[in-house]
Amino acid sequence: MGGEALLGGSLEILWFDSLGAKSSSICIRGANCVILVDPGAAEMQPSYPLPKSEKSRLRREAALKIRACLEESEVVIITHYHWDHAPRPGGDILVPSLLRGKLVLAKNPNIYINESQWKRARKLYAELGCPTEEPPGEPGEIPDPLAELPIASSRRFPGYDSRRAELLSRGRSWFKGLWRKWWSSPWISEGACSGGVRIRWIDSESVEVCGVHLRFTPPWFHGVEFDRTGWVVGFEASLPQGRLFYSSDVMGPIIEDYAEYIAGLRPDVLVLDGPPTYLYPYMFNRINLGRAVDNGVLIVESGVGNIIYDHHLLREARWRERVRRVLEAAAKSPARLATAAEYLGRRPLIDELAGAGRHG
Protein backbone atom coordinates (compact mmCIF):
# COMPACT_ATOMS: atom_id res chain seq x y z
CA MET A 1 0.00 0.00 0.00
CA GLY A 2 2.96 2.32 0.51
CA GLY A 3 3.09 5.28 -1.85
CA GLU A 4 -0.23 4.33 -3.46
CA ALA A 5 -1.56 6.98 -5.86
CA LEU A 6 -4.97 8.11 -4.62
CA LEU A 7 -7.44 9.47 -7.18
CA GLY A 8 -4.86 9.08 -9.92
CA GLY A 9 -2.32 11.11 -7.98
CA SER A 10 -4.59 14.14 -7.64
CA LEU A 11 -4.82 13.61 -3.86
CA GLU A 12 -1.67 14.06 -1.76
CA ILE A 13 -1.52 13.17 1.91
CA LEU A 14 0.37 15.96 3.69
CA TRP A 15 0.20 15.19 7.41
CA PHE A 16 -1.93 13.26 9.90
CA ASP A 17 -1.60 12.21 13.52
CA SER A 18 -0.16 8.81 12.59
CA LEU A 19 3.00 10.70 11.58
CA GLY A 20 3.45 12.19 15.05
CA ALA A 21 1.81 15.64 15.08
CA LYS A 22 -1.84 16.68 15.17
CA SER A 23 -3.10 17.49 11.69
CA SER A 24 -5.53 16.34 9.02
CA SER A 25 -4.17 18.05 5.92
CA ILE A 26 -4.39 17.04 2.28
CA CYS A 27 -3.52 18.64 -1.05
CA ILE A 28 -5.90 18.30 -4.03
CA ARG A 29 -4.39 18.91 -7.44
CA GLY A 30 -7.16 20.05 -9.75
CA ALA A 31 -7.13 20.53 -13.51
CA ASN A 32 -5.61 24.00 -13.37
CA CYS A 33 -4.76 24.84 -9.75
CA VAL A 34 -4.13 23.41 -6.29
CA ILE A 35 -6.49 23.21 -3.30
CA LEU A 36 -5.07 22.88 0.21
CA VAL A 37 -7.33 21.47 2.91
CA ASP A 38 -6.88 22.52 6.55
CA PRO A 39 -3.44 24.18 6.84
CA GLY A 40 -2.85 23.55 10.53
CA ALA A 41 -0.48 21.50 12.71
CA ALA A 42 -0.19 21.19 16.49
CA GLU A 43 1.92 19.29 19.00
CA MET A 44 0.66 16.04 20.47
CA GLN A 45 -0.99 16.08 23.89
CA PRO A 46 1.09 15.58 27.09
CA SER A 47 0.19 11.87 27.33
CA TYR A 48 1.73 11.10 23.93
CA PRO A 49 4.92 9.09 24.67
CA LEU A 50 7.57 11.45 23.31
CA PRO A 51 9.69 14.21 24.87
CA LYS A 52 8.29 17.70 24.32
CA SER A 53 11.27 18.62 22.16
CA GLU A 54 10.49 15.77 19.78
CA LYS A 55 6.81 16.67 19.68
CA SER A 56 7.82 20.21 18.77
CA ARG A 57 10.16 18.97 16.04
CA LEU A 58 7.43 16.84 14.50
CA ARG A 59 4.99 19.73 14.60
CA ARG A 60 7.52 21.90 12.72
CA GLU A 61 8.08 19.11 10.19
CA ALA A 62 4.33 18.86 9.63
CA ALA A 63 4.00 22.62 9.25
CA LEU A 64 6.77 22.79 6.66
CA LYS A 65 5.20 19.97 4.66
CA ILE A 66 1.83 21.73 4.69
CA ARG A 67 3.40 25.11 3.92
CA ALA A 68 4.95 23.73 0.73
CA CYS A 69 1.45 22.99 -0.62
CA LEU A 70 0.09 26.24 0.80
CA GLU A 71 2.62 28.29 -1.12
CA GLU A 72 1.65 26.73 -4.47
CA SER A 73 -2.10 26.64 -3.81
CA GLU A 74 -4.64 29.12 -5.11
CA VAL A 75 -7.53 27.85 -2.99
CA VAL A 76 -7.52 26.98 0.74
CA ILE A 77 -10.29 25.19 2.63
CA ILE A 78 -10.64 25.70 6.40
CA THR A 79 -13.22 23.35 7.91
CA HIS A 80 -13.04 24.86 11.42
CA TYR A 81 -10.82 26.95 13.68
CA HIS A 82 -8.74 24.56 15.75
CA TRP A 83 -5.00 25.09 15.29
CA ASP A 84 -4.47 21.60 13.89
CA HIS A 85 -6.73 22.70 11.01
CA ALA A 86 -6.21 26.45 10.59
CA PRO A 87 -3.16 28.76 10.46
CA ARG A 88 -2.39 30.21 13.87
CA PRO A 89 -1.87 33.97 14.35
CA GLY A 90 1.54 34.49 15.84
CA GLY A 91 2.71 31.06 14.70
CA ASP A 92 6.19 30.36 13.41
CA ILE A 93 5.51 28.54 10.11
CA LEU A 94 1.80 28.33 9.24
CA VAL A 95 0.62 31.93 9.63
CA PRO A 96 -2.41 33.87 8.30
CA SER A 97 -0.28 36.04 6.01
CA LEU A 98 0.30 32.98 3.81
CA LEU A 99 -3.38 33.13 2.85
CA ARG A 100 -2.99 36.49 1.12
CA GLY A 101 -3.80 36.46 -2.56
CA LYS A 102 -5.78 33.22 -2.24
CA LEU A 103 -9.43 32.22 -2.24
CA VAL A 104 -10.27 30.94 1.25
CA LEU A 105 -13.33 28.69 1.52
CA ALA A 106 -14.01 28.56 5.23
CA LYS A 107 -16.45 27.49 7.92
CA ASN A 108 -18.69 30.43 8.75
CA PRO A 109 -17.16 31.98 11.91
CA ASN A 110 -20.31 33.89 12.82
CA ILE A 111 -22.81 31.14 13.56
CA TYR A 112 -22.70 27.49 14.64
CA ILE A 113 -19.38 28.06 16.35
CA ASN A 114 -18.33 27.76 19.99
CA GLU A 115 -16.72 30.47 22.12
CA SER A 116 -13.15 29.28 21.62
CA GLN A 117 -13.35 28.99 17.84
CA TRP A 118 -15.28 32.29 17.68
CA LYS A 119 -12.32 34.06 19.30
CA ARG A 120 -9.71 32.22 17.21
CA ALA A 121 -11.49 33.03 13.95
CA ARG A 122 -11.59 36.71 14.85
CA LYS A 123 -7.86 36.78 15.48
CA LEU A 124 -7.24 35.01 12.18
CA TYR A 125 -9.42 37.33 10.07
CA ALA A 126 -8.33 40.48 11.91
CA GLU A 127 -4.76 39.70 10.89
CA LEU A 128 -5.97 39.45 7.28
CA GLY A 129 -7.77 42.79 7.49
CA CYS A 130 -11.28 41.40 7.07
CA PRO A 131 -14.08 43.87 7.92
CA THR A 132 -16.98 43.25 10.28
CA GLU A 133 -20.65 44.15 10.01
CA GLU A 134 -23.85 43.99 12.01
CA PRO A 135 -25.62 40.59 12.05
CA PRO A 136 -27.99 40.26 9.09
CA GLY A 137 -31.64 40.63 10.00
CA GLU A 138 -33.25 39.28 13.13
CA PRO A 139 -32.25 36.00 14.82
CA GLY A 140 -35.71 34.50 14.66
CA GLU A 141 -36.80 31.45 16.62
CA ILE A 142 -33.99 29.39 18.12
CA PRO A 143 -33.77 26.08 16.19
CA ASP A 144 -33.26 22.66 17.72
CA PRO A 145 -30.15 21.06 16.13
CA LEU A 146 -31.40 17.61 17.12
CA ALA A 147 -34.29 18.02 14.67
CA GLU A 148 -31.67 17.50 11.94
CA LEU A 149 -30.51 14.24 13.56
CA PRO A 150 -33.53 11.91 13.53
CA ILE A 151 -31.48 8.68 13.70
CA ALA A 152 -29.32 9.75 16.63
CA SER A 153 -32.31 11.28 18.41
CA SER A 154 -34.23 8.02 18.24
CA ARG A 155 -31.41 5.86 19.64
CA ARG A 156 -31.95 4.25 23.02
CA PHE A 157 -29.20 3.14 25.38
CA PRO A 158 -30.42 0.99 28.27
CA GLY A 159 -28.99 2.23 31.53
CA TYR A 160 -27.76 5.46 29.95
CA ASP A 161 -30.93 7.10 28.62
CA SER A 162 -31.60 9.24 31.68
CA ARG A 163 -28.02 10.48 31.80
CA ARG A 164 -28.11 11.16 28.05
CA ALA A 165 -31.36 13.10 28.40
CA GLU A 166 -29.74 15.24 31.09
CA LEU A 167 -26.73 15.95 28.86
CA LEU A 168 -28.91 16.83 25.89
CA SER A 169 -30.96 19.20 28.04
CA ARG A 170 -27.78 20.95 29.16
CA GLY A 171 -26.65 21.01 25.55
CA ARG A 172 -29.82 22.79 24.44
CA SER A 173 -29.31 25.43 27.14
CA TRP A 174 -25.70 25.92 25.99
CA PHE A 175 -26.85 26.24 22.38
CA LYS A 176 -29.48 28.85 23.27
CA GLY A 177 -26.80 30.94 24.98
CA LEU A 178 -24.58 30.73 21.91
CA TRP A 179 -27.48 31.65 19.62
CA ARG A 180 -28.02 34.88 21.56
CA LYS A 181 -24.30 35.66 21.40
CA TRP A 182 -24.08 35.06 17.64
CA TRP A 183 -26.91 37.48 16.93
CA SER A 184 -25.74 40.22 19.30
CA SER A 185 -22.10 40.50 18.15
CA PRO A 186 -20.48 41.87 14.97
CA TRP A 187 -20.06 39.37 12.13
CA ILE A 188 -16.99 38.94 9.97
CA SER A 189 -17.83 39.86 6.37
CA GLU A 190 -17.36 37.69 3.33
CA GLY A 191 -15.56 39.06 0.28
CA ALA A 192 -12.25 40.84 -0.14
CA CYS A 193 -10.11 41.66 2.87
CA SER A 194 -7.44 44.37 2.97
CA GLY A 195 -4.79 41.68 3.27
CA GLY A 196 -5.41 40.54 -0.31
CA VAL A 197 -7.45 37.43 0.50
CA ARG A 198 -10.94 36.57 -0.72
CA ILE A 199 -13.21 34.89 1.81
CA ARG A 200 -16.28 32.77 1.18
CA TRP A 201 -18.27 30.92 3.84
CA ILE A 202 -18.97 27.34 2.83
CA ASP A 203 -21.58 25.91 5.21
CA SER A 204 -24.09 23.95 3.04
CA GLU A 205 -22.63 25.52 -0.12
CA SER A 206 -21.46 24.13 -3.47
CA VAL A 207 -18.44 25.63 -5.24
CA GLU A 208 -16.60 24.92 -8.49
CA VAL A 209 -12.85 25.65 -8.32
CA CYS A 210 -9.76 24.24 -10.03
CA GLY A 211 -11.96 21.98 -12.13
CA VAL A 212 -13.22 20.37 -8.91
CA HIS A 213 -16.83 20.43 -7.75
CA LEU A 214 -17.02 20.89 -3.98
CA ARG A 215 -20.19 20.20 -2.01
CA PHE A 216 -20.01 21.17 1.66
CA THR A 217 -22.09 19.79 4.51
CA PRO A 218 -24.10 21.92 6.92
CA PRO A 219 -22.35 22.52 10.25
CA TRP A 220 -21.79 19.14 11.92
CA PHE A 221 -21.05 18.63 15.60
CA HIS A 222 -17.38 18.13 16.41
CA GLY A 223 -18.12 14.81 18.13
CA VAL A 224 -21.27 14.09 20.15
CA GLU A 225 -24.50 16.07 20.11
CA PHE A 226 -23.90 19.58 21.47
CA ASP A 227 -20.18 18.89 21.69
CA ARG A 228 -18.58 21.86 23.44
CA THR A 229 -15.71 21.86 20.91
CA GLY A 230 -18.17 23.27 18.40
CA TRP A 231 -19.00 22.51 14.77
CA VAL A 232 -17.13 21.58 11.60
CA VAL A 233 -17.89 21.40 7.89
CA GLY A 234 -17.05 18.32 5.81
CA PHE A 235 -17.14 18.16 2.03
CA GLU A 236 -17.36 15.99 -1.07
CA ALA A 237 -14.94 16.74 -3.92
CA SER A 238 -15.78 15.42 -7.39
CA LEU A 239 -12.79 15.10 -9.73
CA PRO A 240 -12.43 13.38 -13.10
CA GLN A 241 -10.45 10.67 -11.28
CA GLY A 242 -13.17 9.99 -8.69
CA ARG A 243 -14.90 11.31 -5.59
CA LEU A 244 -13.41 12.21 -2.23
CA PHE A 245 -15.21 12.83 1.05
CA TYR A 246 -13.34 14.64 3.82
CA SER A 247 -15.05 14.27 7.20
CA SER A 248 -13.14 16.92 9.15
CA ASP A 249 -13.58 16.28 12.90
CA VAL A 250 -16.64 14.11 13.57
CA MET A 251 -14.75 11.71 15.87
CA GLY A 252 -15.79 8.39 14.44
CA PRO A 253 -18.32 9.61 13.47
CA ILE A 254 -20.18 9.30 16.76
CA ILE A 255 -23.48 10.61 15.37
CA GLU A 256 -25.40 8.03 13.37
CA ASP A 257 -26.91 10.49 10.88
CA TYR A 258 -23.43 11.54 9.75
CA ALA A 259 -22.41 7.91 9.29
CA GLU A 260 -25.50 7.22 7.18
CA TYR A 261 -24.75 10.26 5.04
CA ILE A 262 -21.15 9.19 4.41
CA ALA A 263 -22.15 5.58 3.75
CA GLY A 264 -24.73 6.76 1.23
CA LEU A 265 -22.12 8.67 -0.74
CA ARG A 266 -19.80 5.66 -1.21
CA PRO A 267 -16.83 7.84 -2.18
CA ASP A 268 -13.75 6.44 -3.90
CA VAL A 269 -11.60 7.93 -1.13
CA LEU A 270 -12.79 8.75 2.37
CA VAL A 271 -10.73 10.78 4.83
CA LEU A 272 -12.29 9.74 8.14
CA ASP A 273 -11.18 10.89 11.57
CA GLY A 274 -11.58 8.07 14.05
CA PRO A 275 -12.81 8.32 17.65
CA PRO A 276 -10.57 10.02 20.24
CA THR A 277 -9.63 6.85 22.09
CA TYR A 278 -6.87 8.70 23.96
CA LEU A 279 -9.67 10.35 25.98
CA TYR A 280 -11.28 7.02 26.94
CA PRO A 281 -12.80 6.41 29.46
CA TYR A 282 -12.60 9.73 31.33
CA MET A 283 -13.69 12.27 28.70
CA PHE A 284 -15.01 9.82 26.10
CA ASN A 285 -17.31 7.17 27.47
CA ARG A 286 -18.08 3.56 26.55
CA ILE A 287 -21.45 4.40 24.96
CA ASN A 288 -20.01 6.94 22.54
CA LEU A 289 -17.03 4.75 21.72
CA GLY A 290 -19.49 1.98 20.87
CA ARG A 291 -21.46 4.35 18.66
CA ALA A 292 -18.30 5.41 16.82
CA VAL A 293 -17.26 1.80 16.26
CA ASP A 294 -20.74 0.80 15.05
CA ASN A 295 -20.72 3.74 12.65
CA GLY A 296 -17.25 2.89 11.43
CA VAL A 297 -18.40 -0.65 10.62
CA LEU A 298 -21.45 0.72 8.79
CA ILE A 299 -19.25 2.95 6.63
CA VAL A 300 -16.71 0.22 5.87
CA GLU A 301 -19.47 -2.16 4.77
CA SER A 302 -21.24 0.45 2.60
CA GLY A 303 -18.99 0.11 -0.43
CA VAL A 304 -16.48 2.90 0.18
CA GLY A 305 -13.18 2.47 -1.67
CA ASN A 306 -10.01 3.70 0.08
CA ILE A 307 -10.37 4.90 3.67
CA ILE A 308 -7.73 7.02 5.40
CA TYR A 309 -8.62 6.31 9.04
CA ASP A 310 -6.59 8.63 11.24
CA HIS A 311 -6.41 11.92 13.16
CA HIS A 312 -7.74 11.69 16.79
CA LEU A 313 -7.54 7.90 16.64
CA LEU A 314 -3.74 7.76 16.40
CA ARG A 315 -2.91 9.49 19.66
CA GLU A 316 -2.56 6.45 21.92
CA ALA A 317 -1.13 2.96 21.71
CA ARG A 318 -4.31 0.90 22.23
CA TRP A 319 -6.20 2.39 19.31
CA ARG A 320 -6.32 -0.88 17.34
CA GLU A 321 -7.88 -2.66 20.29
CA ARG A 322 -10.47 0.11 20.77
CA VAL A 323 -11.67 -0.01 17.12
CA ARG A 324 -11.02 -3.71 16.54
CA ARG A 325 -14.46 -4.35 14.99
CA VAL A 326 -13.90 -1.62 12.39
CA LEU A 327 -10.56 -3.14 11.40
CA GLU A 328 -12.07 -6.63 11.25
CA ALA A 329 -14.92 -5.41 9.07
CA ALA A 330 -12.44 -3.76 6.71
CA ALA A 331 -10.40 -6.98 6.46
CA LYS A 332 -13.53 -8.80 5.25
CA SER A 333 -14.66 -6.11 2.79
CA PRO A 334 -13.34 -4.67 -0.48
CA ALA A 335 -12.64 -1.40 1.36
CA ARG A 336 -8.97 -0.61 1.83
CA LEU A 337 -8.66 0.97 5.25
CA ALA A 338 -5.35 2.23 6.65
CA THR A 339 -3.78 5.13 8.47
CA ALA A 340 -2.20 7.98 6.53
CA ALA A 341 1.23 6.69 7.53
CA GLU A 342 0.45 3.28 6.06
CA TYR A 343 -0.75 4.81 2.80
CA LEU A 344 2.65 6.52 2.68
CA GLY A 345 4.45 3.23 3.27
CA ARG A 346 5.29 3.94 6.91
CA ARG A 347 4.33 2.47 10.24
CA PRO A 348 2.23 4.72 12.50
CA LEU A 349 4.58 6.40 14.93
CA ILE A 350 2.45 5.46 17.93
CA ASP A 351 2.80 1.79 16.93
CA GLU A 352 6.58 2.15 16.74
CA LEU A 353 6.69 3.82 20.15
CA ALA A 354 4.45 1.17 21.69
CA GLY A 355 6.65 -1.59 20.23
CA ALA A 356 9.78 0.04 21.61
CA GLY A 357 8.15 0.29 25.02
CA ARG A 358 7.17 -3.38 25.06
CA HIS A 359 10.72 -4.40 24.21
CA GLY A 360 12.37 -2.10 26.66
Per cent of the chain over pLDDT 90 is 95
HSE on the CB side for 193, CA within 13 Å? 26
The pLDDT of residue 360 is above 50: no
Rounded CA-CA distance 357/360 in Å is 5
The pLDDT of residue 231 is above 80: yes
The pLDDT of residue 359 is above 60: no
Per the CB < 8 A criterion, the answer to whether 109 and 116 are in contact is no
Arithmetic mean of pLDDT over the chain: 96
The predicted model gives 255-262 an average pLDDT of 98
The predicted model gives 234-259 an average pLDDT of 98
Rounded CA-CA distance 85/349 in Å is 20
Taking the CA atoms of the chain, what radius of gyration do you get in angstroms? 20
Check residue 195 and give its pLDDT.
Answer: 82
> Of 256, 236, 222, 234, which Cα lies nearest the Cα of 114?
222
pTM of the predicted model as reported, rounded to 2 decimal places: 0.97
Domains in the chain, ordered, with CATH?
A: 7-358 (3.60.15.10)
pLDDT tens-digit map of 130-173: 999 999 988 889 999 999 999 999 999 999 999 999 999 999 99
Check residue 44 and give its pLDDT.
Answer: 98
- Residues near 302 by Cβ (< 8 Å), separated by ≥ 6? 262, 263, 264, 266
pLDDT tens-digit map of 61-113: 999 999 999 999 999 999 999 999 999 999 999 999 999 999 999 999 999 99
Pairing, β 269-273 against β 242-246: parallel
The pLDDT of residue 358 is above 50: no
Check residue 356 and give its pLDDT.
Answer: 65
Report how far apart, in Å, the C-alpha atoms of 133 and of each of 14, 96, 100, 130 are. 36, 21, 21, 10
- First-last CA distance in the chain: 29
Per cent of the chain over pLDDT 70 is 98
> Of 8, 3, 22, which Cα lies nearest the Cα of 269?
8
pLDDT tens-digit map of 289-339: 999 999 999 999 999 999 999 999 999 999 999 999 999 999 999 999 999
pLDDT-derived band of residue 3, with 50, 70 and 90 as boundaries? low
HSE on the CB side for 244, CA within 13 Å? 27
Rounded CA-CA distance 166/184 in Å is 28
The predicted model gives 209-229 an average pLDDT of 98
Report how far apart, in Å, the C-alpha atoms of 5 and of each of 100, 343, 344 are. 30, 9, 10
Task: Annotate 335-351 with DSSP letters as a single string.
Answer: -EEE-HHHHTT---HHH
